[in-house]
Amino acid sequence: MQLPRSLQTRLGIGLTVGVTLFWLVALAGAVFAARNQLNARFDSALAETAQRIMPLAVVEVINREDRSRAQHIVAFEAHDEPLVYLVRDRGGQILLQSHNAEPAVFNRELRAGFSSSPTHRFYGAWAVQGSLHIEVAEPLAQRREAIRATAASLLWPLVVLAPLCFVGSWAFVRYSLRPVLAYRDAIESRGSGDLSPVSVQDLPTEILTIAASVNQLLERLRRALEAERSFTANSAHELRTPIATALAQTQRLQRELSPGKTRDRALGIEMSLRKLSELSEKLMQLAKAEGGGLLSTRQHDLAGLLQLIVDDLRQSPAADRIELALPESGACMRALDPDAFAILARNLLDNALKHGSAEQPVEVSLSPAGVLRIVNAGDIIPAGELAQLRRRFVRSKTTARGAGLGLAIADAVVTGVGASMELCSPASGRADGFEVRITFPVTGA
């Protein structure tokens, strides 16, 4: 799977590579033009050298007593001789040559004008009515070295300019993308419950349309979620009074009835009403969990809140099985709304008490690092079922009564506060049981 690449990185690398390629193309063109110019200058120097030497060579040869013997021109001091020459008669007899000249490298045929061999460039000229011929030779390696030096002088700045170009391109792209980066940070810093419009100030026109569409989508999503939450909360709230009234009337009716089938039916009605009352309460908690206001503007001691919740639960006989382990007071401070934390903890504890083994304790612990663990004994839940327990109205195979909303509510709260929740079966360090592990992030006040 290919990882996403940063637009800033793409533009920085692309601009640097593009400038480098253009520089190399320009360098190749400059070297080609310089080579032609250098060859022209070298040819001109070669011809000029032949024209300068020829009159002196003619005087030397004419004034010589023995013309048939070749004469070497002795150098005043040892030095490199990039240009060498031969003076020959019409028959090819060497009459005069420079001190470092190798006759083997010269043309056997006496030619006028420019010519070349694999290793040398030549210029030949005739004098004294075609009786004397001079040929000057220049090694081609000298020209190649000059062209390489020219190319190197043009290439070296690129070695310095390429990193500078990359840094400059990176800085310019980053400066140009500041509104886009601010837009990204504004989206990343939001919680899952914040669906307010994102600021589109100073965004480029290419991104502005996308940002406007995102804000429209957020607004539509916010309205849909608010409508759903409002319906859920209002429905549950409106049902509480009729359910409570019906439950009270049913209980009064039971006391007035004598034992028998009619009273048993009244007991069944009472149980159904109690289930309906619990369901309406869960729906109200779910609406609270999926709404905003899960975070607080100041820090709260989660250990103290958890102690109060457990103490309240222990008023019922079933909650005596809770074994609580808490850190020191003030060791686990988080900016969570106390009501939201209470909804989370109560649902998880109710779930552990209802579905755990009645003979085994429920282990509850909170670490200073903000890790809440609730462990209960019981049968192992298959991995396929375990992954579905976060969904609404989904229950594992159990005889305990419930609506299947406890873990869904807990998951909604955990998501809303930016925490993480892990479900494990079997529990850590045990062969059976069920464990819920929640890690609360460090939040500022």
How much is the pLDDT for 438? 94
Locate tokens 């100073």: which residue?
202
How much is the pLDDT for 77? 56
* Ramachandran sector of residue 152 (left: φ over 0; alpha: ψ -120 to 50; beta: rest): alpha
How much is the pLDDT for 84? 84
Q: Are 75 and 84 in contact (CB under 8 A)?
A: no
Residues β-bridged to residue 123: 114, 136
How much is the pLDDT for 129? 80
How much is the pLDDT for 436? 94
Integer Rg of the chain from CA: 48
How much is the pLDDT for 325? 92
What CA–CA distances, in Å, run from 132 to 54, 73, 85, 112? 9, 17, 13, 12
How much is the pLDDT for 191? 61
Tens-digit pLDDT profile for the chain (445 aa)? 455 567 777 877 888 888 888 888 888 888 888 888 888 888 888 888 888 888 887 887 777 665 555 555 555 555 566 788 888 888 888 888 887 778 888 888 888 888 888 888 898 888 888 788 888 888 888 888 888 888 888 788 777 877 888 888 888 888 888 888 888 888 877 765 567 788 888 888 878 888 888 888 888 877 876 776 677 666 666 777 787 788 788 888 888 878 878 888 888 888 888 777 777 777 777 776 776 667 777 889 999 999 999 988 888 777 788 999 999 888 899 988 888 899 899 999 988 888 888 888 999 999 999 999 999 998 888 888 888 888 877 777 666 666 678 888 888 888 888 899 999 998 988 888 999 999 998 865 4
Map residue 167 onto helix, strand or coil: helix
φ/ψ of 18, rounded to 5, equals: -65, -45
Domains, the chain, ordered by start: 7-160 (no CATH), 184-292 (1.10.287), 293-445 (3.30.565.10)
What CA–CA distances, in Å, run from 104 to 7, 26, 86, 101, 383? 64, 40, 11, 9, 91
φ/ψ of 304, rounded to 5, equals: -65, -40
